[in-house]
Amino acid sequence: MKKAIVVISFGTSHEDTRKKTIEAIERGIAEEFKDHEVFRAFTSKIIIKKLRERDNLIVPTVQELMEQLVEDGYTDVIIQPTHIINGIENDNMLEDLSPYVKKFSSIRIGKPLLSDTEDYKQLVSCIVEENHVGEKEAILLMGHGTSHHANAVYPAVDYTFRAEGYSNIYMATVEGYPTLDDAMGLMEKNEYKKVLLIPFMIVAGDHAKNDMAGDEEDSWKSVLEKEGYEVDCKLQGLGELRVVQDMFIRHIREAE
């Protein structure tokens, strides 16, 4: 019996955040499941191509890796995505996996990071413990957002902060709902002087470095500064947090 765990990520071309997030998640899984071989696959073909051409770093697609596992005689496979939500990337991953379901004795698939209320509460509690701000200060999280119905996770997490008693923490997304304008509309009702911006993404890559913390006039930092806020940016991906790494380990244990 040959056992494998496949950790599937969207990927990032930023080596600094990859080492702190994706690689840290993979290391934690390898330490926890010593009887399994741990493999990496990315879903972004653009990032895979960039890493190959720029860094000579070869990361397989999901299909390439599954073909390799079949060829190498692996019998029992667990798939664990590092996606935050059950969105487009997760749907595409499941589609890519479907031809291989019957090629192994057993194949189980773990859930993305935020898949139920327990996940929401655990992550909310972690974010609160990791980030302390003073009076008249707010925390604004930058989520990716999507047109997929799974975007509902973002307002659900926003609500969870309120329900848990943290009314100074807000969620907004780059490509979904709530938007930055939505969050600023709520923040205006309070007399905040300072805002701490944090990426609500596994890696602190392009979106975090440019769309959130960049110096361009349309970055979230610049927009908030124009509104009179003092702004700090924390370039830390969720994947750096031990609690998040442990959540993925729990999802592997619960995989069906």
Q: How far apart are CA 255 and CA 81, in angstroms?
A: 11
Residues β-bridged to residue 80: 7
The topology (CATH level 3) of 2-113+240-254 is Rossmann fold (3.40.50)
Question: Residue 219's pLDDT is what?
Answer: 98
Write the pLDDT tens digit of every residue in 70-116.
999 999 999 999 999 999 999 999 999 999 999 999 999 999 999 99
Query: Which stretch of DSSP H or E encloses residue 79?
Result: strand 76-81
Question: Residue 66's pLDDT is what?
Answer: 98
Q: CA distances (Å), 159 to each of 83, 124, 137, 155, 188, in order?
A: 21, 10, 19, 6, 18
Q: Mean pLDDT, to the nearest integer, of 200-227?
A: 97
Q: Mean pLDDT, to the nearest integer, of 2-19?
A: 97
Write the pLDDT tens digit of every residue in 129-166.
999 999 899 999 999 999 999 999 999 999 999 999 99
Angle value at C-alpha 192, between 186 and 195, nearest 5 degrees: 90
The structure tokens listed for 123 are 């992550």
Same fold, 2-113+240-254 and 117-236: yes
Annotated binding-site members: 144, 175, 207
Q: How far apart are CA 178 and CA 159, in angstroms?
A: 11
Q: 96-105: long-range contacts (C-beta < 8 A, 24 or more apart)?
A: 96/43, 96/61, 96/62, 96/63, 96/66, 97/62, 97/66, 99/63, 100/66, 100/70, 103/66, 103/70, 104/69, 104/70, 104/74, 104/75, 104/76, 104/77, 105/1, 105/75, 105/76
The reply to whether 36 belongs to the active site is no
Write the pLDDT tens digit of every residue in 21-69.
999 999 999 999 999 999 999 999 999 999 999 999 999 999 999 999 9
Write the pLDDT tens digit of every residue in 183-200.
999 999 999 999 999 999
The topology (CATH level 3) of 117-236 is Rossmann fold (3.40.50)
Q: Mean pLDDT, to the nearest integer, of 204-230?
A: 97
Annotated binding-site members for Co(2+): 144, 175, 207
Q: Which of 144, 148, 149, 251 is catalytic?
A: 144
**Could you tell me the residue ranges of all domains in the chain?**
2-113+240-254, 117-236
DSSP code of residue 175: S
Question: Residue 124's pLDDT is what?
Answer: 98
pLDDT at 256 over 90: no
